[in-house]
């Protein structure tokens, strides 16, 4: 038992509805509170200021929803994975729901280092309330994907920088117009060596087709996260894990 850690676990959860407006840090606090309420045997770090051994995957932007978020947590002793989801869901806020858990290999790398691809759905509208036609957006996306490089200005660590985001955009498909009048898109992005968020993709579309006008996200959902190894794409619950317990939505 290395470092006093007996039972590392990977947890999958959703974030949907009004809870999307709380920050990544507040989501972490919600889980810390749920762990305390359920009196789960958390493992703690060593030193003068011990803290629970909990680490989250890639941060989700405030306002975005997700079907698949992940955290890794270490317990001092084994816990019943078949009951863990239900126990946590009783104590988590509405809109955050644990949908699966798996025992993790002790030497598993951090989620932020190994997730390489993300799937999204994005509902797009014009920011000036002028109707957006799916064909217009489809034309703009085609122009974007035809480029080898697209430079957009975005904020990083409190300062504006110019970045080429084209390499992080793997695919973007305009599906059609929704009942709410937005245009529904399916998007896949890379996370390494540098990622792109859906609003970066819209900025890139506006960069290559300025006549399309100001675009905005009406709803964004992160639908899948992938770990890619040796030509295979794995869910984080299937990579570096020993056994699996699933509750609710399957990956």
Query: Do residues 223 and 67 make contact, with C-beta atoms less than 8 angstroms apart?
Result: yes
What is the β-pairing status of strands 159-164 and 169-177?
A: unpaired
- Residues 165 and 201: beta-carbon distance below 8 Å: yes
Ranges assigned E (strand) in the chain: 7-15, 54-56, 65-75, 96-104, 117-126, 151-156, 159-164, 169-177, 183-190, 215-229, 232-234, 241-246
Where in the chain are the domains?
2-113+236-246, 117-228
Judge whether 221 and 197 are in contact, CB under 8 Å: no
Question: In the structure encoding, which two tokens stand for residue 243, read together?
Answer: 């056994």
Q: How confident is the model at residue 167 (pLDDT cuts 50, 70, 90)?
A: very high
Tell me if domain 2-113+236-246 and domain 117-228 are identical in fold: yes
Q: What are the tens digits of pLDDT across the range 111-132?
A: 999 999 999 999 999 988 889 9
Token pair belonging to 112: 């932020």
Q: Is there a contact between 57 and 236 (Cβ–Cβ < 8 Å)?
A: yes
Q: What is the pLDDT of residue 154?
A: 85
CA atoms within 13 Å, Cβ hemisphere of 169: 29
Chain mean position to CA 34: 21
At residue 166, the 3 state secondary structure works out as helix
Closest by CA position to 212, among listed 121, 128, 152: 128
Here the tokens at position 225 are: 């996260």
Which CATH number is 2-113+236-246 given?
3.30.70.580
Q: What is the arithmetic mean of pLDDT over 44-66?
A: 89
Helices (H), 146-238: 198-208
Q: Which CATH number fits domain 117-228: 3.30.70.3190, 3.40.190.10, 3.90.480.20, 3.30.465.10?
A: 3.30.70.3190
Angle between helices 24-37 and 81-91 (to 10 degrees): 110
pLDDT of residue 45: 80
pLDDT value of residue 221: 98
Confidence band, pLDDT 50/70/90 cuts, at residue 246: low
pLDDT greater than 60 at residue 176: yes
Prediction pTM value = 0.90
pLDDT at 109 over 70: yes
Taking only the tens place, the pLDDT of each residue in 192-225 is 998 999 999 999 999 999 999 999 999 999 999 9
pLDDT of residue 245: 55
As a whole number of angstroms, the distance between CA 102 and CA 164 comes to 37
């Amino acid at each position: 038992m290395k470092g006093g850690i007996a039972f590392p676990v990977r947890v999958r959860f959703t974030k949907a509805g009004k809870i999307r407006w709380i920050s990544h840090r507040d989501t972490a606090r919600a889980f810390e509170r749920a762990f305390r309420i359920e009196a789960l045997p958390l493992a703690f770090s060593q030193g003068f200021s011990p803290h629970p051994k909990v680490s989250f995957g890639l941060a989700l932007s405030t306002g975005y929803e997700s079907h698949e978020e992940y955290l890794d947590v270490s317990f001092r002793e084994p816990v019943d994975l078949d009951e863990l989801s239900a126990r946590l869901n009783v104590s988590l806020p509405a809109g955050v729901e644990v949908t699966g858990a798996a025992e993790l290999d002790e030497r598993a790398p951090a989620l932020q280092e190994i997730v390489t691809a993300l799937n999204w759905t994005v509902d797009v509208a014009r920011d000036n309330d002028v109707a957006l036609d799916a064909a217009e957006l489809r034309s703009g996306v085609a122009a974007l994907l035809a480029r080898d490089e697209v430079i957009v200005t975005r904020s990083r660590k409190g300062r504006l920088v110019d970045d080429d985001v084209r390499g992080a955009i793997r695919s973007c498909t305009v599906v059609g117009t929704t009942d709410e009048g937005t245009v529904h898109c399916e998007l896949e992005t890379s996370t390494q060596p540098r990622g792109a968020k859906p609003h970066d993709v819209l900025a890139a579309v506006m960069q290559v087709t300025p006549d399309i006008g100001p675009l905005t996200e009406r709803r964004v959902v992160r639908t899948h996260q992938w770990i890619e190894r040796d030509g295979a794409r794995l869910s984080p619950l299937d990579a570096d894990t020993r056994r699996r317990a699933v509750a609710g939505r399957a990956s």
